[in-house]
Amino acid sequence: MNEPAFYLPPECWGAEVCLRGQEARHLAKSMRLDKGSRVALLDGHGRLGRFRVCGVDRENVQLELLEEQMFPRPAARAAMALAASRAVRRGFFLEKAVELGAHAVWIWQADHSQNRLAPSSEQSWRSRMIAGAKQCKNPWLPELRLLPKGIGEVAVLASSADRRVLLWEMQENVPLLSADTAGQEGLSVYVVGPEGGFSQRELAALDAAGFVPASLGRRVLRCETAAALCLGLHWWASHLNGTATGNAAQ
């Protein structure tokens, strides 16, 4: 689909739908689309539809469905557990997370995080991901979670995953992340520390929770670089391994 894309939450989906608020303004004011235009809508849960605009007023846009397609979740799913860091760089990562098809982004409060997680920012982070999804037309939005209680919450959430990987810059005896680990079928949780590194307490908790260390090379990377590279490698490996797409049963 080459049409510009907009976001419509799954509960609002139907044969005749209405875009409101920011999405309606984006369509009518920024893109200057009008009655008769064709657009794509995505619901963030795997559905992508082609719609025709049938009415535009100040705050609402009416559309009718022409055709729709469901995309299954990828077979290899990556949950990125990223330590809280400065907002501007996290925004960059949230956008890349949608482009590179992250299944989930968990932002956790680390002992050495530079700032505290503010629950009030959740909506703006979600908006950032929606903007990224519209741009690249990924019909799946990553699940976003804030984990203010830190590493214990990461361990609990990761306990049902198929793989748990600790990205660690220490070089001795830490194997490189490879396509045998990344991009495998099922849910893989990758945990990335803050700029100040993991605390001993956090390393012990991750070890107890079954996280296995993996390196991304010889240089110490900034946390968003490490997270984007790791997710990029997962994405690349999932194409190599044939797990980038899913089957409809998932």
Options 16-24, 49-57, 144-152, 162-170: segment touching ligand SAH (CB under 6 A):
162-170
Q: Which of 226, 228, 231, 233 binds ligand SAH (CB under 6 A)?
A: 226
Q: Is 154 in the site for ligand SAH (CB under 6 A)?
A: no
Cα 210 to Cα 158, 167, 213, 225: the distances in Å are 9, 13, 10, 24
Q: Is 150 in the site for ligand SAH (CB under 6 A)?
A: no
Element (H, E) at 67: strand 60-70
At a CB cut-off of 8 Å and minimum separation 6, what does 84 contact?
90, 107, 108, 109, 110, 113, 114, 115, 116, 117, 194
Instruction: Kindly tell me which of 141 and 191 has the beta carbon lying closer to ligand SAH.
Output: 191
Q: Is 246 in the site for ligand SAH (CB under 6 A)?
A: no
The residue count for binding ligand SAH (CB under 6 A) is: 17
- Cα torsion 84, 185, 5, 88 to 10°: value is 10
Q: Is 221 in the site for ligand SAH (CB under 6 A)?
A: yes
Q: Which of 25, 122, 179, 197 binds ligand SAH (CB under 6 A)?
A: 197
Cα 48 to Cα 53, 66, 69, 140: the distances in Å are 16, 11, 5, 9
Least distance from C-beta 229 to ligand SAH, angstroms?
8
Q: Which of 1, 86, 111, 196 binds ligand SAH (CB under 6 A)?
A: 196
Least distance from C-beta 195 to ligand SAH, angstroms?
6
Tokens 């680990």 found at:
181
Contact 181, 214 (CB under 8 A): yes
List contacts with ligand SAH (CB under 6 A): 167-169, 192-193, 195-198, 215-217, 219-221, 223, 226
